[in-house]
């Protein structure tokens, strides 16, 4: 497998996303798909939200032009699932469908993966592995959506994670995973040109759900010929440490404060860093740095001898646990928790 064969996929994904984004921005303005400022958001003006159209279009174009034909069945299931989530995300951006409809769409997309053989194989039992696969897709997809709370955050961490997936998959000779990751990295970087602070366009749920879904697929499709399973399960978790960390932090915080996990608020990792004095750009670079560090740990786990890899992986997860406690302390020390919504008195 030649590394040069994946460069055109990355470049076409980048160029197409770069070219499609201004078009998607104009379409969003004409259709009224805009994000309005409010008390829980950082931006102060209306932003067009159909950047996801450019991301998905660039992803499809680069894969159709350069993807290996022997993987068309799996690729069809992946792009069909992503298309479903893009449409549901667009409708949610425009009409605020709610989390239940999004969750149903994610389950349908994940079952489409399972139907074509794309499934986690931890226990070698479909009764266990299929529910874990659905749960993984739901978690990573929602995590990417949760992270879309600051200019350039979701697009940036997606580009970094996809870059690591390219390296890991190429080292294992995984053609489909390397192609998919390269297309995703290029599409994310092309969009990031317009989405970095100060952003001129947002990806919306249409983009965040697609990016999260593809990242979940990449984590599932990683296979290692030499490393034992008790080590390799940590690798996608470490590469995707930031979004998984953030969704866990937010859900636990909201439950502890008596709020619904679906209730939006300024309780994400990014908001907590800003509450202690960091600017938006400083916060973004800190979070990018965290992605780079944990992704590198994931690469080390994949390359080291099994006994050393296990120690490295456990150390990385312990580091995440320490950061979790730090973020909880920042919430208590520097942020005023959002009170649960008041219920109207019964008539």
pLDDT tens across 237-287, in order? 999 999 999 999 999 999 999 898 888 888 999 999 999 999 999 999 999
- The pLDDT value given to residue 210: 97
Average pLDDT of the chain to the nearest whole number: 90
- CB of 136 within 8 A of CB of 119? no
Tokens (6 digits) for 313: 């992986």
The answer to the question of residue 251 being in a domain is yes
Q: Which residue has the tokens 């460069």?
A: 7
The answer to the question of residue 320 being in a domain is yes
Q: For the chain, what's the residue count?
A: 347
- CB of 229 within 8 A of CB of 302? no
- The pLDDT value given to residue 39: 53
Tokens (6 digits) for 66: 């350069």
- The pLDDT value given to residue 40: 53
The answer to the question of residue 211 being in a domain is yes
The answer to the question of residue 340 being in a domain is no
Query: Strands 34-35, 47-48: parallel, antiparallel or unpaired by DSSP?
Result: antiparallel
> Who wins on pLDDT, 13 or 341?
13
The answer to the question of residue 342 being in a domain is no
Residue percentage of the chain with pLDDT more than 90? 72
The answer to the question of residue 108 being in a domain is yes
Domain assignment of residue 163, given as a range: 3-334
**Backbone dihedral angles phi then psi of residue 48, each to the nearest 5 degrees:** -65, 145
How far apart are the C-alpha atoms of 96 and 99, rounded to whole Å? 9
Query: What domain count does the chain have?
Result: 1
Burial (0-12, 13-18, 19+ Cβ within 10 Å), 217:
buried
The answer to the question of residue 60 being in a domain is yes
- The pLDDT value given to residue 345: 40
> Who wins on pLDDT, 203 or 225?
203
The answer to the question of residue 48 being in a domain is yes
How far apart are the C-alpha atoms of 319 and 76, rounded to whole Å? 38
How far apart are the C-alpha atoms of 243 and 204, rounded to whole Å? 16
**Backbone dihedral angles phi then psi of residue 186, each to the nearest 5 degrees:** -60, -45
Q: What is the pLDDT of residues 31-61, one digit of tens each?
A: 888 877 655 555 455 788 889 999 999 999 9
pLDDT surpasses 70 at 346: no
């Amino acid at each position: 497998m030649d590394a040069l064969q994946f460069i055109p996929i990355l470049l076409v994904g980048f160029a197409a996303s770069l070219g499609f984004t201004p078009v998607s921005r104009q379409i969003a303005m004409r259709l009224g798909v805009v994000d309005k400022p409010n008390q829980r958001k950082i931006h102060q003006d209306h932003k067009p939200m159909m950047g996801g159209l450019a991301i998905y279009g660039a992803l499809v174009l680069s894969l159709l032009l350069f993807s290996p034909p022997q993987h068309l069945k799996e690729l069809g299931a992946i792009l069909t699932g992503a298309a479903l989530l893009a449409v549901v995300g667009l409708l949610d951006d425009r009409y605020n469908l709610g989390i239940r409809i999004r969750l149903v769409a994610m389950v349908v997309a994940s079952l489409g993966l399972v139907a074509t053989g794309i499934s986690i194989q931890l226990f070698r039992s479909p009764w266990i592995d299929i529910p874990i696969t659905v749960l993984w897709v739901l978690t990573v997809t929602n995590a990417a959506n949760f992270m879309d709370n600051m200019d350039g955050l979701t697009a940036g961490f997606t580009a970094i994670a996809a870059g690591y997936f390219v390296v890991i998959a190429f080292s294992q000779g995984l053609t489909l995973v390397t192609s998919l990751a390269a297309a995703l990295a290029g599409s994310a970087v092309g969009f990031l040109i317009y989405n970095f602070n100060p952003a001129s366009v947002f990806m919306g749920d249409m983009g965040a759900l697609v990016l999260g879904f593809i990242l979940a697929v990449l984590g599932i499709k990683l296979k290692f010929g030499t490393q034992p399973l008790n080590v390799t399960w940590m690798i996608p978790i470490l590469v995707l440490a930031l979004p998984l960390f953030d969704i866990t932090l937010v859900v636990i915080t909201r439950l502890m404060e008596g709020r619904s996990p679906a209730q939006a608020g300024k309780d994400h990792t990014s908001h907590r860093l800003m509450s202690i004095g960091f600017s938006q750009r400083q916060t973004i670079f800190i979070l990018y740095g965290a992605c780079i560090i944990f992704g590198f740990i994931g690469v080390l786990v994949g390359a080291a001898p099994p006994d050393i890899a296990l120690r490295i992986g456990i150390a990385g997860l312990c580091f995440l646990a320490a950061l979790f406690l730090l973020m909880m302390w920042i919430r208590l020390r520097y942020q005023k928790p959002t009170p649960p919504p008041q219920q109207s008195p019964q008539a």
